Amino acid sequence: MPLPVTVRPVTGKLTLDATFKAALTSAPDAPLDAAVGRFVMRLSGRTGIPMLGLKDATPKLRIECASAGNDYPTLGEDESYTLDVTSEGALLKAPARAGALHGLETFGQLVTLGKDGFEVPAVHIEDNPRFPWRGLMLDSSRHWMPLEVVKRNLDAMAAVKLNVFHWHLSDDQGFRVESKRFPKLQQEGSDGLFYTQDEIRGVVAYARDRGIRVVPEFDIPGHTTAWLVGYPELGTNPGPYEIGRHWGIYENVLDPSREETYAFLDAFFEEMTALFPDPYFHVGGDEVEATQWNASARVQAWAKQNNLKDAHAIQAYFNQRVQKLLTKRGKILIGWDEVLHPDLPKDIVVQSWRGQKSLAEAAIKGYRGILSWGYYVDHLSPAAFHYAVDPMSGDAGKLGPEEKARILGGELCMWSEYTTSEMVDSRIWPRAAAIAERFWSPASTKDVDSMYARMEAVSRGLEWTGVQHRANYAPMLERMTAGRPTEPLRVLADAVEGLGLGPRARAGKYTSLTPMNRLADAARPESESVRSMELAAAKMVADPKGSPAEAAMLRREFGRWAANDARFQALAVDSPLLVELLPLSRDLAALGNAGLKLLNALQKGQTPEAGFVAAQTKEITRMEKPAAEVNLAATRPVKVLLKGGK
């Protein structure tokens, strides 16, 4: 995953053992060599087979890379590769480093545990991406994301062939990069949580070695409260300002009427463009509130003088100035939908949080764009939802070929209002793998069941890149039980799903000082076990007699739910983090009992009583409303039986 363009199975298999070795057989390329070394280390880790690269062993995986390509990954470069695996060995061929890196990941995903041990089935693969811009945006501002979180996510991105790391580095709640020129940015605007310039350079190099571009985002002129704490003179209002602690849109905005603002930005860009080698530089531009501009006599007088009739015109003026400052430094501006304005040159890129319609409009006007609408992973939607969103669908699908070529791809967005560094991996992975497949594989690759089956396998493989989407679950549950055995909580937690930004924002008055230690924070976006129960329930309904394995599994799981409440109650006594979950636990037990009853009826070929069905349907409708800021996913398999058994 992403599924390659062409996969042709061949007879045979390549067995992996301690003699396994991978070697670059084309011209020396130190970064690629290092990548091969890391690849073998990870393979050795995953399989538990020591792979020491013994001197007298012949390489089992040969890599031929025609040219190293550019120093840094570049938009639109050739990322193709071919991979041939036979019983004797494997050959990976690529025109440039990017394809070789992708091919290694494909080889790694082919590794399986066969009857005789770890092996790779013989196969011929030809592959190249559908879109050249396949990104992941991480918000390091709302909640701080330590360096190791960034790095392990770069490794996981590379594993699914994502090639752009869009790094949201400043917002109302934090300015996260060291500026030597304007040190009060981080000193006053970050609570001490920022990346040093050395660390930034380290991340850029780390990404480069994995074939990933780094596009920084400094969101202006709105979303700038954290800048204004140290430099209130940049603001439209005089200040003083404090670091934003709540979520939502702030009114604070840079002052577009003073030349000093542009002089500051010019010097700031000089420093920051030197740190980030990619030609694209993101300046946000979203959600600019007009309130302060409208209320400022100075801004209004200046606007009138410059024939800027409203806030939209003011922002357009601001963006034009910013764009010129970036061009001067050899950078291409990228911004959210709102930056689009006919006065800007055609080389800028629009990132659309509004949808394909907005993207198509930009393309028609001659602008390139990427899609992020539909890929907001912080909404905690199911992978199937994201997977169904295609950058080329809707209005974008109706474009002509030249316009279509302006749609460069997409980016998934990980906003961090309701996500700390502890659970961020679980909000990105494994669902990001499904989105990565949308960006890479042919548009025709869209079977949802196949996607889920492969995503779950990839999810386990991703653990070996270092991301903690699975590993961090247990410690979060253990925290809630204060060290007591977590099993009753885990049974409940496995049966619920977390809520995304919208419902959480409506649920309570969250700030950046709110503890993130409840089930709502630990719960996963999508329950793998509930999904497998839904599938089993559907199979039972379709063929009650012919699904003994499914029946046994459902019986076991329903029984577990039914029996769990008594244990959960004992665990939750006096626990401030568990008490809110008591009604959920009772509902889960009720669902377990209802599931068992429906299962019995199905197996006996009986129709459940109408009164029972009506009562359960009503109960399930009630249970479908979130409680304690989670969804009780467990309703779904019961609902399948309830509908099917009628």
Please state the closest distance from residue 294 (CB atom) to a copy of itself, in A: 32
Q: How far apart are CA 501 and CA 511, in angstroms?
A: 13
Nearest of 235, 70, 241, 212 to residue 138 by alpha carbon: 212
Please state the closest distance from residue 194 (CB atom) to a copy of itself, in A: 13
Please give the structure tokens belonging to residue 379.
Answer: 């909404």
Place of tokens 């538990």: 48
Q: Between 314 and 458, whose beta carbon lies closer to a copy of itself?
A: 458
Instruction: Find the Cα–Cα–Cα–Cα dihedral 107, 526, 384, 77, rounded to 10°.
Output: -40
Q: Is 528 designated active site?
A: no
Please state the closest distance from residue 588 (CB atom) to a copy of itself, in A: 17
Please state the closest distance from residue 624 (CB atom) to a copy of itself, in A: 26
Q: How far apart are CA 157 and CA 136, in angstroms?
A: 8
Q: Between 333 and 434, whose beta carbon lies closer to a copy of itself?
A: 434
Q: Between 7 and 457, whose beta carbon lies closer to a copy of itself?
A: 457
Q: Between 266 and 528, whose beta carbon lies closer to a copy of itself?
A: 528
Q: Between 45 and 502, whose beta carbon lies closer to a copy of itself?
A: 45
Give the Cβ contact number of residue 327 at 10 Å. Answer: 14
Q: How far apart are CA 608 and CA 266, in angstroms?
A: 72
Please state the closest distance from residue 435 (CB atom) to a copy of itself, in A: 21
Q: Between 360 and 467, whose beta carbon lies closer to a copy of itself?
A: 467
Q: Give the Å distances, CA to CA, from 625 to 24, 499, 587, 628, 630.
A: 56, 11, 12, 10, 9
**What is the DSSP pairing of strand 22-24 with strand 61-67?**
parallel
**DSSP assignment of 103-137, as one string?**
HHHHHHHH-EEETTEEEEEEEEEEE--S-SEEEEE
Give the Cβ contact number of residue 611 at 10 Å. Answer: 8
Q: How far apart are CA 333 and CA 212, in angstroms?
A: 19
CB distance 195 to 203 below 8 Å: yes
Please state the closest distance from residue 229 (CB atom) to a copy of itself, in A: 11
C-alpha count within 13 angstroms, C-beta hemisphere, residue 577: 19
Binding site for a copy of itself (CB under 8 A): 17-18, 45-50, 52-54, 112-117, 191-193, 420, 422, 456-457, 460-461, 463-464, 470-471, 474-476, 478-480, 482-483, 512-517, 521, 574-577
Q: Between 192 and 611, whose beta carbon lies closer to a copy of itself?
A: 192
Q: How far apart are CA 194 and CA 176, in angstroms?
A: 4
Please state the closest distance from residue 111 (CB atom) to a copy of itself, in A: 10
Please state the closest distance from residue 509 (CB atom) to a copy of itself, in A: 14
Please state the closest distance from residue 502 (CB atom) to a copy of itself, in A: 22
C-alpha count within 13 angstroms, C-beta hemisphere, residue 262: 14
Q: Give the Å distances, CA to CA, from 218 to 139, 176, 238, 345.
A: 11, 10, 22, 20
Max CA-CA distance within the chain? 83
Q: Between 17 and 84, whose beta carbon lies closer to a copy of itself?
A: 17
Catalytic residue among 64, 199, 251, 287: 287
Degrees to nearest 5, angle at CA 336 with 362 and 164: 100
Give the Cβ contact number of residue 67 at 10 Å. Answer: 13
Give the Cβ contact number of residue 328 at 10 Å. Answer: 12
Q: Is 644 exposed, middle or buried (0-12, 13-18, 19+ CB in 10 A)?
A: middle
CB distance 579 to 568 below 8 Å: no
Q: Between 229 and 348, whose beta carbon lies closer to a copy of itself?
A: 229
Q: How far apart are CA 610 and CA 616, in angstroms?
A: 10
Burial 287-306 (b: 16+ CB within 10 A, else e): ebbbebbeebeebeebbeee
Q: How far apart are CA 282 and CA 189, in angstroms?
A: 20
Please state the closest distance from residue 75 (CB atom) to a copy of itself, in A: 33
Q: Between 361 and 417, whose beta carbon lies closer to a copy of itself?
A: 417
Q: How far apart are CA 559 and CA 433, in angstroms?
A: 33
**Mapping DSSP to helix (H, G, I), strand (E, B) and coil, where does residue 281 land?**
strand
Please state the closest distance from residue 262 (CB atom) to a copy of itself, in A: 31
Please give the structure tokens belonging to residue 129.
Answer: 């991406």
Q: Between 238 and 576, whose beta carbon lies closer to a copy of itself?
A: 576
Instruction: Name the residues annotated as catalytic.
Output: 287
